[in-house]
């Protein structure tokens, strides 16, 4: 199993940089004062399709052979990866088959449809997604671009932290949310490649703490239909992301639903930017562990901003 390294992430960045937005790094004196540390928000909510996923999807699409491009790509996703792959495919003139759980937020379904992808809905379980995906691969010959269990996808996701560190220099800590582990894998491989001194912390909802369990026990725990507002963090680690995370991540902290929601509100109110609950999870773990972060220069990967405004938790 080939593990992504900093050099792979640098290569991915040179491949994708003209297709992606170089997103801004925002700061807020008010939030620094509230949290007692220096926060640097890498705003992937301003990325194309509203999420970091466009980085990994673009890198995966640009890594296809000409033969593979003819038959298109397929994936299953709770939404952001689906939109990302759909757009990355369309920008390269290839077909995208997307398997989505029928429970995905309307805003995400609409986005994927708007990018011209061919959508198949399925039950909201990992098993249903994988089976539906497999059927499409057999019928169409499409190449699977897994949301996170994919070397090229992970390398693409790591480019957000690469840009962050280029912009602010080396922070003390970088926090990224963890669901399937693509973002955390890419972030940690990149960051530790740059400096072993930077702590890399994963942020996970307490209600979907399978990555925390896996990390603490050393045995990969699958997620079991977790219920959390952080709808981008429902999935389980893969063998690949688990390996990268075990190698590079210093710890995983969990956050309650209450602190995820209040962190999301705080960013909306004070910074005037829309972040999705999965992103708020990264700030929530800081609010729940003030001693750990006090006085530290802390980078946060704001993973995305796709929220169904008609179903807000406040």
Residues at the interface with a second copy (CB under 8 A): 24, 45-46, 50, 107, 265, 268-269, 272-275, 305, 309-310, 312, 314
Shortest spacing between CB 18 and a second copy, in angstroms: 15
**Closest to a second copy by CB, 123 or 311:** 311
Alpha carbon distances (Å) from 192 to 123, 195, 210, 250: 38, 5, 23, 10
DSSP state of 98: E
Distance CA(136)–CA(43), nearest Å, equals 34
Q: Which residues contact 118 (CB under 8 A, 6 or more apart)?
A: 95, 96, 97, 98
Residue 78 annotated as catalytic: yes
Which pair of structure tokens corresponds to residue 109? 């379904």
Residue in this structure with the two tokens 């190698």, named with its chain if needed: 247
Distance CA(253)–CA(251), nearest Å, equals 7
Shortest spacing between CB 107 and a second copy, in angstroms: 6
The single residue of 42, 53, 108, 192 carrying the catalytic annotation is: 53
* Max intra-chain CA distance, the chain: 56
Q: Is 291 left (phi over 0), alpha (psi -120 to 50) or beta?
A: alpha
The single residue of 78, 185, 279, 287 carrying the catalytic annotation is: 78
Which pair of structure tokens corresponds to residue 30? 């008010």
Distance CA(302)–CA(25), nearest Å, equals 10
**Closest to a second copy by CB, 160 or 211:** 160
**Closest to a second copy by CB, 227 or 309:** 309
In a 3-state reduction of DSSP, which class is residue 267? helix
Nearest C-alpha neighbor of 43 from the set 52, 34, 53: 52
**Closest to a second copy by CB, 169 or 314:** 314
**Closest to a second copy by CB, 92 or 213:** 92
Shortest spacing between CB 303 and a second copy, in angstroms: 12
Shortest spacing between CB 43 and a second copy, in angstroms: 8
Beta bridge partners of 177: 203
Shortest spacing between CB 254 and a second copy, in angstroms: 25
Which pair of structure tokens corresponds to residue 91? 């920008």
Neighbours of 169 (CB within 10 A): 9
Shortest spacing between CB 270 and a second copy, in angstroms: 8
Alpha carbon distances (Å) from 131 to 79, 84, 138: 18, 21, 11
Residue 287 annotated as catalytic: no
Active-site amino acid positions: 53, 78
């Amino acid at each position: 199993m080939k593990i992504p390294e900093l050099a792979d992430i640098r290569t991915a960045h040179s491949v994708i940089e003209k297709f992606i937005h170089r997103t801004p790094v925002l700061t807020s004196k008010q939030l620094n004062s509230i949290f007692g540390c220096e926060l640097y928000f890498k705003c992937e909510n301003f990325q194309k399709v509203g999420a970091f996923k466009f980085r990994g999807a673009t890198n995966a699409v640009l890594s296809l052979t000409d033969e593979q491009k003819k038959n298109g790509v397929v994936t299953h996703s709770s939404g952001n990866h689906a939109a990302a792959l759909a757009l990355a495919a369309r920008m390269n003139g290839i077909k995208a088959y997307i398997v989505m759980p029928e429970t995905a937020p309307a805003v995400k379904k609409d986005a994927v449809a708007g990018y011209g992808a061919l959508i198949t809905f399925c039950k909201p379980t990992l098993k249903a997604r994988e089976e539906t995906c497999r059927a499409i691969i057999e019928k169409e010959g499409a190449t699977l671009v897994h949301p996170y269990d994919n070397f090229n996808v992970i390398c693409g996701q790591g480019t957000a932290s690469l840009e962050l560190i280029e912009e602010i220099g080396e922070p003390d800590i970088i926090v990224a949310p963890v669901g399937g582990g693509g973002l955390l894998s890419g972030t940690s491989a990149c960051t530790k490649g740059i400096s072993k001194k930077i702590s890399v912390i994963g942020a996970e909802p307490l209600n979907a703490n399978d990555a925390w369990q896996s990390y603490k026990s050393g045995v990969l725990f699958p997620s079991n239909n977790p219920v959390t507002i952080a709808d981008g963090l429902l999935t389980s680690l893969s063998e690949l992301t688990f390996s990268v995370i075990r190698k590079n991540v210093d710890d995983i902290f969990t956050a309650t639903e209450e602190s995820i929601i209040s962190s999301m509100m705080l960013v909306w109110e004070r910074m005037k930017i829309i972040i999705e609950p999965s992103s708020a999870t990264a700030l929530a773990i800081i609010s729940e562990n003030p001693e750990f972060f006090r006085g530290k220069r802390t980078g946060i990967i704001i993973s995305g901003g796709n929220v169904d405004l008609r179903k807000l938790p406040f």
